[in-house]
Amino acid sequence: MAADVQATTLGLDHRKLAMWTFLGSEFLFFGAFVSAYLLYITTTAGGPGVEIFDIPFTSISSFVLLMSSLTMVLAHNAHAHGDLRRMRLWILATAGQGAVFLGGQVYEFTTFYNEGLNMTQSPFASSFFVLTGFHGLHVFVGILMLLSLYALSLTGKVKANQDVKTEMIGLYWHFVDIIWVVIFTVVYLIPEIAVL
Amino acid sequence: MSTSSETKPLRPAQETGLLSWLGTTDHKRIGVMYFFTTLVFFALGGAESGLLRAQLAQAEQNLLTEEIYNQVFTMHGITMVFLVIMPLSAAFFNYLIPLMIGARDVAFPRLNAFSYWVYLFGGIFLYSSFLLGGAPNGSWVGYAPLASDSVSNMGFYAIGLQILGISSLAAAVNFIVTILNMRAPGMTFMRMPVFVWMALVTNFLLLFAIPVIAVALFMLQFDTLFGAQFFQPGSGGDPILYQHLFWLFGHPEVYIMILPAMGIVSEILPVASKKPLFGYAAVVFAGAAIGFIGFGVWAHHMFTSAIGPVARSAFALSTMFIAVPTGIKIFNWVFTMWGGKLKFTTPMLFSIGFVSMFTIGGLSGVTHAIVPHNAQQHDTYYVVAHFHYVLFGGALFGLIAGIYFWFPKVTGKMMSEKLGKLHFWTWLLGFNLTFGPMHMSGLLGQPRRTAVLPGELGSTVELYNLLSTAGVVVLTGSALVFLYNLLHSIKRGEESGLDPWDARTLEWLTASPPKHHNFDKIPTVTHRDEFWHRKYAEDESGMPISVPAGASEDHDGEDDPDEHIHMPDNSLWPFIMCIAFLPFGYGLVFLNPWLFGLGVLWMVVGYFGWIVEPLAEGDDDDVPDDVHDRPTVGATTH
């Protein structure tokens, strides 16, 4: 890596700079969806509204997702020390926690659907499902990247000195977590407190 | 570059033939492909405008049915904005940015190829709608809930624009990293050519505007295809939300289209005036200011929507305010020409055309900022006149100036000046004949997006419309002159030599056309207008005098042929992966899970093909043995 870093004008690896740039764009993507949700938070067209949220359940799945950021850091740390075996272990742990979170989201969506909230019912329902659904899609893509990192480190395509690859996926993963912190607070917690 | 002959090449390495183009990662070739693709779409968009003008040549005409008229004007708008002006700017970005900053390629060559192929397939996808049940018919703004109505074909719009957005977003990330991270030694920010500055601002605008329209289009798509309720007033949905999201993208989009042309003109005027650009820092600052303020003026498109008096006042103010940095630029261009030794070459004529026509469009734009005035002219031909003066008289004039100016760089030949001047004067005449009268017919009340010109508007409006249609005939002839000039000059143009314009910036430091690796030796930059300073010194009074000893050590650079230059390998994966956007898009439009699944699967396979693809030169993170001999700047990532 050393050679590459010195080669760039800003001293930052191209790929890292690109990932930061891309994540800047992603913030506006979620920002627009969150704005639409806030606009429609009471527009329920007679159907269920924010009272349908199960805060304890979502808190647990949120906790799992947040903890996956810790294992992601540990994975990168292991890779930075050239320890691919432990890196793979933490990568699997991260992907596993992501999968638990996604499973929670599928369960949550199913429950809401059974309780009478579906996407075509009201602007509130549309904006809730599409916002959290796109976040779920981001988690899914993250899991796909983690698993491919895992597989490629086995085949030798990802080498012990290439921790920038783990770091890049880490940047994306942390972003997805941070966005969830915002979504959990704005979409679930604040309206719930306001309603109570 | 240097695949060893004994081992089997790991990546495609053709240098000629179809595969060499399908697999190219060379920014110059990609730029050329962008250019020719925009020519095809420009012809299509132009033909559509011909149909529109034929229909409106006289009152109460019915050459086209209303449905066809709606499809044609929608596709004309989408084509010119997303398939002509934006990608034509991208052609210049591709070709020029690495050359102007002294790099050998962009930061991510395969991603660059990906951007092009997504654009091409996105365009094909949009145009295939004509054969598959009708083209989008709800205007390029796609206002909901009209766009999600059952009689609309806006599914193709929502998904087609989404695909083109992916192309622009990938290109934006690529160019931002390239400009920030791959400048030659000594190329500080304030020594960058203005075109590169404007490219940087434009790509930041794209970076932050594309996700907003992505959200608007996703919502529209969910409404249209899956029955979501975002913009359905029946269940409490708010159509104004769509307008906000669209114009929060749509207004920065206006600057995305004009800033590259401003950059081009800021390069040409100093060269043709033999003077440095007047107030370089002010021009750069004004460009950046336009970028920032451009995100705070969007609601002036919605003054007649229900947004309230406070919002109207605030956006009226910010809209007038954004005219200030634009005015700064116009004065700087005028002062650049002031007292210069002007040479009225074709690129210079088009640049002056840009400054004057854009000023007219800018002034009519300021009238929109005045809310009562705006209410009067909203959705009339006055607005059509205004935005054609900024996008045609502005952006397109600037881009055409760029074509004439950099043609010798790309081909090593000159375009005919005689035909170029004929093109310019007929183009200027045809343009003003087409769009000038629209100011009048609009103020007299002619509504836009109306298939039949109502007879009761009177004979004055009818005359103006006839003039506009006559203008299109002139423009068509003029475009044919340009096309002939272009194609003829590519084959039989005069040799241009290395520096036909007495230019100022780094791209003229190397051969024309440039070699695959651009520069034999990466130049070290010590001045703004580096190339000029290598050619000229100043005498005591500040007048430029030629440096006799030729341009510079690395001018025609055959030195050190053994130097190891690491160039990106070709790759077919971007092309293969992008084909997936067709089944993916059709699957969404026609709600066919099999096609959609095929598209997703194809994309995933392409993604893995891409990341496991070997590099002919070994992995990019391996520290090679000869690292100390390699040029360290301009190295690219794969």
3-state secondary structure of B536: strand
Give contacts of B10 with chain A, Cβ < 8 Å: none
Q: Which residue of B has its CA nearest to A156?
A: B612
Give contacts of B637 with chain A, Cβ < 8 Å: 4, 13-15
Q: Is residue A28 part of a domain?
A: no
Q: CA–CA separation, B209 vs A32, rounded Å?
A: 11
CATH number reported for the structural domain that contains residue A171 in this entry: 1.20.120.80
Q: What is the number of domains present in chain A?
A: 1
pLDDT average, residue stretch B465-470: 96
Q: CA separation (Å) from B382 to B46, B83, B322, B429, B599?
A: 20, 24, 20, 19, 43
Looking at residue B565, its pLDDT comes to 74
> Residue B268: CB partners within 8 Å, gap ≥ 6?
B347, B348, B351, B401, B402, B405
Q: Catalogue the long-range contacts made by A84-92 (C-beta closer than 8 Å, 24 or more residues apart).
A: A84/A153, A84/A158, A84/A160, A87/A153, A87/A166, A88/A150, A88/A153, A88/A154, A91/A146, A91/A149, A91/A150, A91/A153, A91/A166, A92/A146, A92/A150
Mean pLDDT of all residues belonging to chain B: 89
Given a cut of 90, whether residue B418 has pLDDT beyond it is yes
Q: Is residue A10 part of a domain?
A: no
Domains of chain B (ranges; CATH) run: 26-503 (1.20.210.10)
Query: Looking at B255, B280, B404, B508, which residue is catalytic?
Result: B255
Residues A19-57: tens digit of each pLDDT = 999 999 999 999 999 999 999 999 988 888 888 999 999
Looking at residue B555, its pLDDT comes to 43
Per the annotation, the verdict on B533 as an active-site residue is no
Residue range of the domain that includes A185: 60-196
Q: CA–CA separation, B467 vs A128, rounded Å?
A: 52
- Of the two residues A157 and B6, the one the predictor is more confident about is A157
Confidence of residue B635 (pLDDT cuts 50, 70, 90): very low
Q: Is residue A5 part of a domain?
A: no
Measured between CB atoms, which of B176, B212, B222 is closest to A28?
Answer: B212
B177 Cβ under 8 Å from any chain A Cβ? yes
Q: CA separation (Å) from B58 to A42, B388, B437, B452, B453?
A: 51, 21, 14, 9, 7
Given a cut of 90, whether residue A9 has pLDDT beyond it is no
Confidence of residue B154 (pLDDT cuts 50, 70, 90): confident
Residues B85-132: tens digit of each pLDDT = 999 999 999 999 999 999 999 999 999 999 999 999 999 999 999 999
Q: Is residue A160 part of a domain?
A: yes
Size of interface A-B (CB pairs under 8 A): 144
Residues B55-69: tens digit of each pLDDT = 999 999 999 999 999
Looking at residue A196, its pLDDT comes to 53
Q: CA–CA separation, B543 vs B46, rounded Å?
A: 46
- Lowest mean per-residue pLDDT among B141-150, B259-268, B492-501: B141-150
Give contacts of A32 with chain B, Cβ < 8 Å: 211-212, 215-216, 245, 248
Residues B187-202: tens digit of each pLDDT = 999 999 999 999 999 9
Residues A126-139: tens digit of each pLDDT = 999 999 999 999 99
Confidence of residue B545 (pLDDT cuts 50, 70, 90): confident
Given a cut of 60, whether residue B7 has pLDDT beyond it is no
Q: Is residue A173 part of a domain?
A: yes
Q: What is the dihedral of CA B359, B361, B364, B368, to 10 degrees?
A: -120
Q: CA–CA separation, B34 vs B20, rounded Å?
A: 15
Q: Above pLDDT 90, what percent of chain B?
A: 75
Residues B313-363: tens digit of each pLDDT = 999 999 999 999 999 999 999 999 999 999 999 999 999 999 999 999 999
pLDDT average, residue stretch B568-596: 92
Looking at residue B165, its pLDDT comes to 96
Candidates A25, A190, A71, A173; CA nearest to B208 is A25
Per the annotation, the verdict on B441 as an active-site residue is no
Q: CA–CA separation, A62 vs A180, rounded Å?
A: 8
Looking at residue B617, its pLDDT comes to 57
Q: Which amino acid is at A26?
A: E
Q: Is residue A7 part of a domain?
A: no
Distance from CA of B6 to the nearest CA of A (A): 23
How many CA within 13 A on the CB side of residue B21? 7
Q: Is residue A41 part of a domain?
A: no
Looking at residue B633, its pLDDT comes to 42
Looking at residue B622, its pLDDT comes to 52
A57 Cβ under 8 Å from any chain B Cβ? no
Residues A60-85: tens digit of each pLDDT = 999 999 999 999 999 999 999 999 99
Q: Is residue A138 part of a domain?
A: yes
Alpha helix segments (H runs only) across B182-279: 194-226, 239-273
* Cβ-count burial B104-130 (b if 16+ within 10 Å, e if not): bbbbbbbbbbbbbbbbbbbbebbbbbe
Looking at residue B91, its pLDDT comes to 97
* Cβ–Cβ under 8 Å, residues B407 and B413: yes
Candidates B592, B620, B509, B517; CA nearest to B1 is B517
Looking at residue B539, its pLDDT comes to 73
| Cα–chain center distance at B63 | 33
Looking at residue B291, its pLDDT comes to 94
Six-digit token string for B133: 């049940």
Confidence of residue B567 (pLDDT cuts 50, 70, 90): confident
CA quadruple B380, B384, B390, B393: dihedral sign: negative
Residues A85-123: tens digit of each pLDDT = 999 999 999 999 999 999 999 999 999 999 989 999 999
Per the annotation, the verdict on B76 as an active-site residue is yes
Measured between CB atoms, which of B176, B218, B636 is closest to A130?
Answer: B218
Tell which B residues from 398 to 457 touch A, by Cβ distance under 8 Å. Answer: none
